């Protein structure tokens, strides 16, 4: 009677072999992607969106705290954080605090460190302008570390909602944590206390791209105003102009890292700022800020302040004057739009 030969490749072994092969393929893909990005001079940390395990292996950028002390009770302070090719803004109002966007995922720990250095132990409002990873990536990490009272957003059309792991993680966190979530529409206002009010201006339509679906807000405190624009492009700017909304602002946060996709001459004329801030990464792959944008600001004699050159930018106002600090020194504006940097006295 013949003996039945035992099969070597059992079902259990097949499963383990498949998992091993899948891991090897994933590892090889990650190595190839790292090699390609390195050879092209691209930021390796962008790969963490596709290979989550790389998040723990790649170095993070540090965001040093600038010189000024925490905000006083009657001042309003706006911080344009240096988070590389991403966006994050802290607004410390007279009574309440808001954070706009959260950089990429690797920016999260540094944003937390910065907020704590500024005395922020609670975020009253967390606003996400639109669901691109360089605007939402670090939000979950920040909200886990520092309690947030309310999350503000304007969801894009259903067909445009990203299916990325990072954005789905944010949506799940908001659901699991029970965070109050509010949809902002044009005309809605947020009270930051002491007379500081932020008004939503856009999006006024549903667009087929996420950038034009960015929330656009104007913050007014006393006789001073700030305009925050996310990644809004020309279509959104045209709709805002057509709406007749008040746009004048002393400080204009330029959209999309200074890309030429926005900042039309008509829009810039309506804002008529003294200062423009650009959140942008040094030597980035996109050529931001684009020459057209910089030239338009220069011709309008707008003082242009860039995070890639100056680091984190902090603008403080009591509703009348403006004082601007950067990591390189205090900004002293000249009549032609250029500026000097001076070191504040100790």
User: When comparing pLDDT for 95 and 32, which is higher?
Assistant: 95
CA distance 326 to 124: 25
Residue 341 has which token pair? 């940097």
Can you tell me whether residue 314 is helix, strand or coil?
strand
User: When comparing pLDDT for 212 and 63, which is higher?
Assistant: 212
CA distance 246 to 291: 27
Main-chain dihedrals φ then ψ at residue 54, nearest 5 degrees: -75, -20
Q: How confident is the model at residue 12 (pLDDT cuts 50, 70, 90)?
A: low
Q: With 60 as the cut, is the pLDDT of residue 66 above it?
A: no
Percent of the chain with pLDDT over 70: 78
Q: With 70 as the cut, is the pLDDT of residue 68 above it?
A: no
Query: In Å, what is the CA distance from 61 to each residue of 245, 327, 329?
Result: 38, 15, 21
> Counting beta carbons within 10 angstroms of the beta carbon of residue 151, is it exposed (0 to 12), middle (13 to 18) or buried (19 or more)?
buried
Q: What angle do CA 53, 153, 81 make, to 5 degrees?
A: 60
- Closest by CA position to 88, among listed 64, 75, 107, 113: 107
Are 127 and 215 in contact, with CB atoms under 8 Å apart?
yes
Specify the pLDDT at position 337: 87
Q: How confident is the model at residue 336 (pLDDT cuts 50, 70, 90)?
A: confident
Q: Does domain 76-342 have CATH number 3.60.15.10?
A: yes
Q: How confident is the model at residue 65 (pLDDT cuts 50, 70, 90)?
A: very low
Q: With 50 as the cut, is the pLDDT of residue 86 above it?
A: yes
Strand order in the sheet with 313-317: 180-183, 148-153, 123-127, 97-100, 89-92, 76-80, 313-317, 322-326, 329-333, 339-342
Annotate 239-279 with DSSP letters as a single string: HHHHHT-----SEEE-GGGG-TTS--HHHHHHH--SEEEE-
| Beta strand ranges found along the chain (DSSP E) | 76-80, 89-92, 97-100, 123-127, 148-153, 180-183, 189-193, 196-202, 216-221, 224-228, 251-253, 275-278, 303-306, 313-317, 322-326, 329-333, 339-342
Are 82 and 90 in contact, with CB atoms under 8 Å apart?
no
Domain boundaries, the chain: 14-56, 76-342
CA distance 103 to 105: 7
Q: How confident is the model at residue 108 (pLDDT cuts 50, 70, 90)?
A: very high
pTM: 0.82
pLDDT in tens, 311-334: 999 999 999 999 999 999 999 898
pLDDT in tens, 129-170: 999 999 999 999 999 999 999 999 999 999 999 999 999 999
Residue 301 has which token pair? 């004699």
Q: With 50 as the cut, is the pLDDT of residue 35 above it?
A: yes
pLDDT in tens, 228-257: 999 999 999 999 999 999 999 999 999 999
Are 53 and 27 in contact, with CB atoms under 8 Å apart?
no
Are 333 and 275 in contact, with CB atoms under 8 Å apart?
yes
Specify the pLDDT at position 257: 97
- Residue entry with tokens 């339509």: 205
pLDDT in tens, 170-192: 999 999 999 999 999 999 999 99
User: When comparing pLDDT for 60 and 142, which is higher?
Assistant: 142
Specify the pLDDT at position 72: 47
How high is the mean pLDDT of the chain? 87
User: When comparing pLDDT for 340 and 60, which is higher?
Assistant: 340
Specify the pLDDT at position 71: 45
Percent of the chain with pLDDT over 90: 73
């Amino acid at each position: 009677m013949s003996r039945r030969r035992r099969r070597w490749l059992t079902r259990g072994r097949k499963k383990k072999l498949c998992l091993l092969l899948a891991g090897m393929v994933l590892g090889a893909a990650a190595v190839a992607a790292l090699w390609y990005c390195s050879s092209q001079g691209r930021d390796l940390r962008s790969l963490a969106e596709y290979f989550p395990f790389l998040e723990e292996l790649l170095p993070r950028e540090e965001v040093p705290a600038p010189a000024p002390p925490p905000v006083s009770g009657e001042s309003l302070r706006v911080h344009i954080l240096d988070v590389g090719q991403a966006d994050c803004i802290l607004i410390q109002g007279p009574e309440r605090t808001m954070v706009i966007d959260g950089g990429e995922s690797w920016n999260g720990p540094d944003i937390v460190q910065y907020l704590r250095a500024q005395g922020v132990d609670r975020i009253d409002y967390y606003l996400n302008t639109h669901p691109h990873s360089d605007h939402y990536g670090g939000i979950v990490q920040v909200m886990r570390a520092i309690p947030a009272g309310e999350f503000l957003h304007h969801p894009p059309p259903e067909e445009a909602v990203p299916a990325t792991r990072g954005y789905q993680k944010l949506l799940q966190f908001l659901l699991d944590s029970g965070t109050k979530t509010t949809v902002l529409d044009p005309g809605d206002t947020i009270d930051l206390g002491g007379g500081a009010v932020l008004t939503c201006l856009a999006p006024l339509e549903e667009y087929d791209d996420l950038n034009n679906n960015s929330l656009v807000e104007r913050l007014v405190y006393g006789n001073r105003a700030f305009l925050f624009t996310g990644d809004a492009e020309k279509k959104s700017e045209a709709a805002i102009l057509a709406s007749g909304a008040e746009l004048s602002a002393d400080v204009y946060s330029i959209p999309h890292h200074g890309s030429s996709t926005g900042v039309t001459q008509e829009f810039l004329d309506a804002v008529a700022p003294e200062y423009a801030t650009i959140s942008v990464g040094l030597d980035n792959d996109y050529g931001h800020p684009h020459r057209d944008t910089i030239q338009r600001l220069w011709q309008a004699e707008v003082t242009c302040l860039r995070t890639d050159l100056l680091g984190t930018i902090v603008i403080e106002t009591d509703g009348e004057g403006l004082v601007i600090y950067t990591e390189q020194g205090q900004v002293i504006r000249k009549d032609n739009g250029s500026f000097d940097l001076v070191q504040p006295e100790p």
